[in-house]
Amino acid sequence: MSAKVLIVDDAAFMRMMIKEILSKNGYDVVGEAENGREAVSKYKELTPDLVTLDITMPEMDGISALKEIKAFNPAAKVIMCSAMGQQSMVIDAIQAGAKDFIVKPFQADRVLEAVSKTISS
């Protein structure tokens, strides 16, 4: 059975890129969200095996969404996505419970490595 993934990014083309990488490699993308608030409610509704979560988003940022998801399910597996130069945010995300992070622009092999490593952890 393939792992269920929720993709969260405020940019539709970024969601599409991640979805394409994961779908082509046998992952089941069960949902998408464009901000942190939507991410938290979709997580509760869909109970995915993994979430890819952008850090910088409107309404609720990725770190806040990560904290809410971890409060709801401490075992949640979340990979943060960030643009270059957001190292301090990445550190905050790891401290808040993220399992890994990938840097934009995405390299398909790095996305797959992070996802398979996180799911099997």
- pLDDT tens-place string over residues 67-121: 999 999 999 999 999 886 667 888 899 999 999 999 888 899 999 999 999 999 8
For the chain, the structural domain boundaries read: 2-118
Q: What's the 3-state SS for 26-37? A: CCEEEEEECCHH
Evaluated on CA atoms 121, 91, 87, 28, the torsion sign reads positive
| Residue 3 DSSP label | P
Q: What is the pLDDT of residue 90?
A: 82
CB 99 within 8 A of CB 77: yes
Superfamily of domain 2-118: Response regulator (3.40.50.2300)
Residue range 13-58, pLDDT digits in tens: 999 999 999 999 999 999 999 999 999 999 999 999 999 999 999 9
pLDDT of amino acid 10: 95
In angstroms, the Cα distances linking 103 to 43, 47, 55, 83 are 22, 25, 11, 6
